[in-house]
Structure 1
């Protein structure tokens, strides 16, 4: 750990700075104690009057459990489900405060008739009557203005005819309902679903009665809201169901008519048969085409052979024919028989003739059979062609019928979907109506009274102890805040520390404001050389003599920012303390516009600085102050051009000659903000002392004047703060000088 003293120095400085700030705040409060005490007294006095003149109010409270009822909603949802609603309680609170609820209370308790005197006094009735009259008069006046404007703009009066405009005054029931709403308080109990409902009234019995009635009115209101909502829903759903039932009936009739007109009774079966038939026809057509090709080829082969029956018999259809095979065998047998008989008989033998005839007959039968087969083949070929053509026609017809039935079925499907949709919507509405009838009498909000409102025994308002304590605290802190606010708005010089921080100039010293009555600061230092005021000027003298590092300044110009800041008195008193060490001191009154130094010493001003600078005289210029070791050159006759005289060579020559004679030469000059005389004289002296007055010299004035001096490089020795009160005299480092001098 670093224990070097320098490492701890910043913390010590910070603590010292905080302590100084706290002391400054305390001093500021004591400085503005009149403001603080005045504000405290007025505030506390008003609170006392308000507390003891306010009519006592009695508050009755009831505790109620309010939660959402999920029973009826579960019937609609079909399952148990709860959700968190952050706005539920807030909505219920607004409903309790609503005008409908308070009007129910008024009607239920007959507050506007039986208990009307609890809410209206003669003065209040007069006030309400006046307000009603004023309201009516205002409405009539505005109505007249609007009607005149409409006439000027050419707006027809019938354009707004029929609009509901209420101009009736408020009834007693409305006024009492608004009073109840204004005095009603609703507070939720933390971490629970319960709320505390309170009502305040001048009469404790009325407070208790209204509080309990509020709960009943609230329950009636939420039940009426539920009934009104359910009634409207049922009415709407019933009307909608009737519309949907009519739509369903119309759509069903349209579907039936379409089915009857387009013979769609078995449309679904037909849609199943047509694809099957189309497939069978396609298969049969393929077979017919193949068979037709086969017969066509066979018939072409037969035609190519012509009547060459021998080769025709080689065709498979002829070769495989059983009749023809039998005939061939018989012919072969007959030929063998002829061969055998020819060996025995001659050609003309009857046996041979019979055998030949039998053989010829067999050949004829064989030929006939071949021709029959040829004809049969031709017929089969023609039949195959005809069958192919018929199948093609059937297939095309089936396709057309299928396309037609598909188009009709599409329209049928559209109309059937419409029927189904209407039926579903109608069934849903019917089910909702049944559900609404079941849940109509159930409430969405559950309300249980946990604790009823009892008769209040003591008034709740005003709480005298709390009101007086708050009034005292408000008065103290408000007064302190007002004091700081006034101090913040005060832009005048207050102490030397602020001047040092703002401008970086040395504070030569401060001068107290004389509090004693009948005293004159102009002669106070001369009459009481050992007073604290004289000590202030000695401190200024010491700081002034130490302000220059080489040698003490001998020619000093004293000026200020504005008149009446104590510049002339400071010059005279500073000359007195400088002359106490057997020093020769000369005061030159350079304020040739509003001279005052001669009047402080009771000397004539007929001959002075202006006369000398103008070259009118050189004799009797310096005057010795009777009874004091100081001399004075008065300002002389007021000239028309003081600035030109002060810039002359004679002024510079005068300064040189006076410094040869006197140890200190003090120049009393005009304020910096008014004229340029002080800026001109600043170049002729060793340094300038700026005199300021606490509570009068503003920082803006001081900044502007110092800027002018800085621009001309005027040597500023420091600032004298004049007119300080005693409580601030010892603040800052210049208080240390006083303490040191006393030591």
Structure 2
């Protein structure tokens, strides 16, 4: 079965009846459930364990504050969830229901607990209360009473805690006042004796300054190391040992007059080297060049002395070859000067930072000596004052919290009268039933597709065989099966156009005009004989001299289609009783002839593989424009294998909802293994929907008179009935 999504609509169309039955059964069961089930109403309310500071006093806010949820400790929201179902809260709710005058028949603490559900909304401090019953008004009243009881219980708990705190603070405040007075006296005495005012601020200032200097020292050290590295690298490249020489080399390299003198010296050195290679040093020419070079070098040094600083010794004049004469050397010289300058600046800066850091460290070491006792006294005073103020504030807050109505439970959503029952919910039930019905219907279709081994359509055959699809042929009516009266077939454009398209497609795929083709099928009953005969009729209809050879010795059908006797037959030619041209019979169709065959025993069927049969096929292909050979089924007999070797190729006929896929696939595999030339496959007997498409398409092109003639006479004669019975039980 092709399990791709694209094939699912076709499968649903084929299996529409069982799919509808499955879907209808599921929907019917859902409707029956809705009819017999009694309605149950559910109401909901929401409480929030409030973190908002709703109290006027800080103590009231703290008492109403939700404690943090610590690992391994109590969960506040879970505690409140358990408190909802406690006996104390439910009794308070029953009392409120009695005050409201509602009926309490059947309401007890146990029944309330059974129908009451508490849910903690994830990741929140919200409790969702739900209560269900058959009376929607009573359920709404009960749930609102439980919510009010939770709020009242929370307020009473907070008020009792505030009272206990007030009584404790009223005893502690006088004692704290005495401690504050003693701490103030001790601090004032120390200030008078030591003169220290604020050691903490001074210490913090020195620490910040020291940290800043240490950061600067580290940064300057890193920068200095980088500058030294650059300077050493540039010194290696330029061979300069100080910035003064680098500056002089740069100025000399940029002087144009010195550049010209250096060029002349280079030329003289080159010429002197050539002369010395040929002459001795005592030669007048060599002596003259040496003298000229000396004078030029003297002039160069004189020009150079004008550029040198006044303190530069004459014996340290830079030779012409060591100056920065090109752009690259000048660039490196400039970088060397900058690197050396930067290094000197950073060394001086590092020295200053280190000196200042040492001073701050010395000053910082003196402060703890006097600051420690001062800090102790100040801390005692601050602690005493802070403790006194805290207790005084808490005392006022406790008095306010005790008098004020404070709670940490808030009703954020009250129960409302439900408009529809919770169970059963018709929309939900029908949606689930629809989804389940669709899923089961699709599953039923897929199961039937898996169990069905027959070929369904042309697309499935093409995907299964991996062969070219040559054509899709319509199912031929009974009155058009017989070609004894060919106009019943040839006059109907809906029938002949698919065959003409098949013939054209085969030649286009073969890229030549076909002369000899073999038509067969995997098993009997797929309509190969009908396809062969009617394809031959269409070929002859379009002025091609055509011969059809009936090679199906097991069940010959061609002479029935054309209303001819089975004699003379092809075996007569094999037995040399007459020539093949003498055995050929004309038909009622112009340009179409037939060489018939009669049913033979299995042992006499080897004639199709003889050399005489090969000669007959070759001669027929030379004599006719097209020769079509009808052979026995491929899966049962080897005749199609043998005859296809002498032809332009084999055409395999398949039939939807009849051809077994495993047999067809095995047949094609055997043909490929034996190197049998296969032109492709044909789908014979298309569905009514596709046949209607052909009918509509061709009717739009036919003249009205021809359309009436085509559809006017549906009767068939006795010969057509005989052929129809033979096709139904044989090779339809």
Q: Aligning the two structures, in what range does the TM-score lie when normalised by the shorter sequence?
A: 0.3 to 0.5
Question: Normalising by structure 2, what TM-score?
Answer: 0.45
Structure of higher CA gyration radius: 1
